[in-house]
Amino acid sequence: DAGVTQSPTHLIKTRGQQVTLRCSPKSGHDTVSWYQQALGQGPQFIFQYYEEEERQRGNFPDRFSGHQFPNYSSELNVNALLLGDSALYLCASSSDTLTRTDTQYFGPGTRLTVL
């Protein structure tokens, strides 16, 4: 049973460019959440996708957008990159049934460096 996978592992971009990060959820999961983790900080919630729609959003600008596909995989897009967007981007998947836990399982992350 594959866990959450993310690609690419590392990425280097320059200011003003655009980037797309990808995530495949754990088998059986239908909800994908994205988090940004700056160096030395805890992860910050960006948004959550369910049924191909953005269901919740954290305090991030519109430059951050996403998409969820019918197979539940997801993309995170960031436009007009800033130096401050350099971070580890984590994808987490979960199941949207009201189960005993609210457990989100995380992928290994994509390390984005903006020069």
Partner 1 sequence: GEDVEQSLFLSVREGDSSVINCTYTDSSSTYLYWYKQEPGAGLQLLTYIFSNMDMKQDQRLTVLLNKKDKHLSLRIADTQTGDSAIYFCAESFHYGGSQGNLIFGKGTKLSVKP
Q: Which residues bind partner 1 (CB under 8 A)?
A: 4, 31, 33, 35, 40-45, 48, 50, 55-56, 58, 90, 92, 94, 96, 98, 100-109
* Rounded CA separation 72/31 (Å): 7
Rounded Cα–Cα distance for residues 14 and 25 (Å): 28
* Contact between 34 and 93 (Cβ < 8 Å): no
Cβ nearer to partner 1, comparing 16 with 94:
94
Query: Between residues 38 and 83, which has the closer beta carbon with respect to partner 1?
Result: 38
Q: CB of 89: closest distance to partner 1 in angstroms?
A: 10
CB of 7 to partner 1, least distance (A): 13
Alpha-carbon gap, residue 82 to 87, rounded angstroms:
11
